[in-house]
C-alpha cells in the first residue's frame, strides 16, 4: 500500500475505527508516517462510515485495506492477513496485452480475447505478455480475484481528423491511412517556428541537395522504416526543441522530431518513397489509439510496467501499410507508362 500512497498526488487516509479518523487531503507522500503509525485498537471498525468520510473529503477512487472481505462499491481492495490475490490487465496495445500479479507467488491466468481463451503464467509481483492478438480487441480475465475492476480492457483505433493542404499526394496518403478531414492533426508546408502546441507534421518548403542517410535515432517513429541508404535533401534547420531523427554526412539533419511534431524534407522529394506512408502512419498512431478499462497507476495495487515492457516491433498493420504503399506506387508507375506521348 505504501508505494501506492507515495505516488498519489493527493490522498486522504482514513482509519476506520469505531469512529473514523481522517488525515488529509494531502500529497500521498506526506501521509506515509500516518500510515505506518496506524494500529488496530478499537473493538470494531465502521467501514461504511469511513468510506463515506473519505469520499466527502476527496473525490477520488477508494482503496480499502482490511482483513475482511472487500466492501461493495469501492474501487480498490487490499486483503491484509488474507489469502486473496489479484491479477489484472495493466497494459494494452495493438495485438498485445500485459497482465500484472500482486501476489507473492506465480499465478496462472486465463484471458478471453475474441471468443478464444488463452492461458499464461504470471510471475510473482510481475508481468506476463500476451502477444499475437487481433490488432483491435476486447479482453476479459476469467475467474475471481480481489479486484474485478482491472479484469477487463480493450484496445481500438479511431479515425483521425487531419487538416492538410489539398495536394494529390497528401489526399492519396490520408485516404490510404483512413483519415478524415478535421483538425486533430495538422500538416503544414513550412519550417517549424517552435515546438507545436498540437500534433503537427511539417513538410519543408525547400531543401538542399540530396545526401545519403548515414545515421538514424532509435525512436518509435522509425519502427519498420528503412532509411539507411536513402538519399534525402536536408531541410532548413528547425529551432530549439527539435532533434534529428535521421542524419547525413557531417551530422546534417535530414528528418527531425519534437514533442507532438515531425519535420520532413519537401513533399516532392519523399512522396513517392515507400517509407513515407509508414513514417506518417507511425506519427499518427498514438493519436489513433483508444484504450479502455485500464486503471491508472494510482488506482491499482498491481505493479505497472514501464514503457520498455511494451512491444516495440511494428505490427502487422505497419507491414501491410508498407505493402499497400508499394503496390500503389507500382500501379501509378504502370499507368504513367501506358499514357500516350503528349497526353
Residues 176-204: pLDDT tens digits? Answer: 888 999 999 999 999 999 999 999 999 99
Q: Which cell is 324 given?
A: 499497400
Q: How many beta carbons lie within 10 A of that of residue 200, not counting itself?
A: 20
* pLDDT-based confidence at residue 60 (cuts at 50, 70, 90): confident
E strands present in 200-327: 200-203, 211-212, 215-216, 231-232, 243-247, 253-258, 261-264, 289-292
Query: Could you give the CA distance from residue 6 to residue 29 in angstroms, rounded to a whole number?
Result: 4
The residue behind cell 507508362 is 337
The residue behind cell 520532413 is 264
Which residue ranges form the domains of the chain, and what is each CATH number? 2-79 (no CATH), 87-157+290-322 (2.60.40), 161-273 (no CATH)
Please provide residue 99's backbone torsions phi and psi, each rounded to the nearest 5 degrees: -110, 140
* pLDDT-based confidence at residue 43 (cuts at 50, 70, 90): low
- Per-residue confidence (pLDDT) for residue 150, from 0 to 100: 84
- Sign (positive or negative) of CA dihedral 156, 161, 162, 167: positive
Q: How many CA atoms lie within 13 A of 267 on its CB side?
A: 19
- Sign (positive or negative) of CA dihedral 208, 214, 215, 220: positive
Which of 22-26, 294-298, 325-329 is the least confident region?
A: 325-329
Instruction: Give yes or no for residue 74 having a pLDDT over 90.
Output: no
Torsion of CA 64, 65, 68, 69, to 10 degrees: 40
Torsion of CA 325, 326, 332, 333, to 10 degrees: 160
DSSP 55: H
Query: Could you give the CA distance from residue 282 to residue 307 in angstroms, rounded to a whole number?
Result: 17
Residues 226-284: pLDDT tens digits? Answer: 898 899 999 999 998 999 999 999 999 999 999 999 999 999 999 989 899 999 999 99
DSSP 39: -
Torsion of CA 162, 168, 173, 179, to 10 degrees: 30
| Most confident range, picked from 75-79, 210-214, 302-306, 324-328 | 210-214
DSSP 73: T
Amino acid at each position: 500500500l505504501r508505494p501506492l500512497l507515495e505516488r498519489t498526488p493527493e490522498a486522504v487516509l482514513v482509519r476506520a475505527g469505531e469512529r473514523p479518523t481522517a488525515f488529509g487531503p494531502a500529497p500521498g507522500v506526506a501521509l506515509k508516517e500516518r500510515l505506518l503509525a496506524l494500529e488496530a485498537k478499537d473493538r470494531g471498525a465502521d467501514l461504511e462510515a469511513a468510506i463515506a468520510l473519505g469520499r466527502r473529503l476527496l473525490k477520488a477512487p477508494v482503496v480499502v485495506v482490511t482483513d475482511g472481505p472487500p466492501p461493495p462499491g469501492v474501487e480498490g481492495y487490499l486483503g491484509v492477513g488474507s489469502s486473496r490475490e489479484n491479477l489484472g490487465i495493466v497494459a494494452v496495445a495493438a495485438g498485445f496485452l500485459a497482465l500484472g500479479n500482486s501476489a507473492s507467488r506465480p499465478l496462472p491466468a486465463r484471458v478471453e480475447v475474441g471468443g478464444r481463451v488463452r492461458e499464461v503464467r504470471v510471475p510473482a509481483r510481475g508481468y506476463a505478455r500476451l502477444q499475437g492478438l487481433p490488432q483491435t480487441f476486447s479482453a476479459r480475465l476469467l475467474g475471481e480475484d480481489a479486484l474485478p475492476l482491472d479484469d477487463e480492457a480493450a484496445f481500438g483505433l479511431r479515425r483521425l481528423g487531419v487538416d492538410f493542404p489539398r495536394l494529390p499526394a497528401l489526399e492519396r496518403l490520408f485516404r490510404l491511412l483512413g483519415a478524415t478531414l478535421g483538425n486533430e492533426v495538422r500538416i503544414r508546408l513550412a519550417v517549424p517556428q517552435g515546438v507545436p502546441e498540437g500534433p503537427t507534421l511539417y513538410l519543408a518548403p525547400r531543401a538542399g541537395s540530396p545526401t545519403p542517410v548515414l545515421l538514424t535515432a532509435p525512436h518509435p517513429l522509425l519502427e519498420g522504416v528503412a532509411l539507411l541508404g536513402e538519399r534525402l535533401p536536408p531541410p532548413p534547420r528547425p529551432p530549439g526543441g527539435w532533434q534529428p531523427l535521421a542524419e547525413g554526412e557531417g551530422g546534417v539533419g535530414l528528418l527531425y522530431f519534437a514533442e507532438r511534431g515531425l519535420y520532413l524534407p519537401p513533399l516532392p522529394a519523399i512522396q513517392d518513397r515507400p517509407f513515407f506512408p509508414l513514417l506518417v502512419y507511425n506519427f499518427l498512431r498514438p493519436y489513433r489509439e483508444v484504450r479502455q478499462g485500464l486503471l491508472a497507476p494510482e488506482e491499482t495495487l498491481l505493479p505497472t510496467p514501464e514503457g520498455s515492457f511494451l512491444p516495440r516491433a511494428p505490427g502487422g498493420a505497419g507491414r501491410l501499410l508498407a505493402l499497400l504503399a508499394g503496390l500503389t506506387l507500382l500501379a501509378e508507375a504502370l499507368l504513367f507508362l501506358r499514357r500516350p506521348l503528349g497526353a
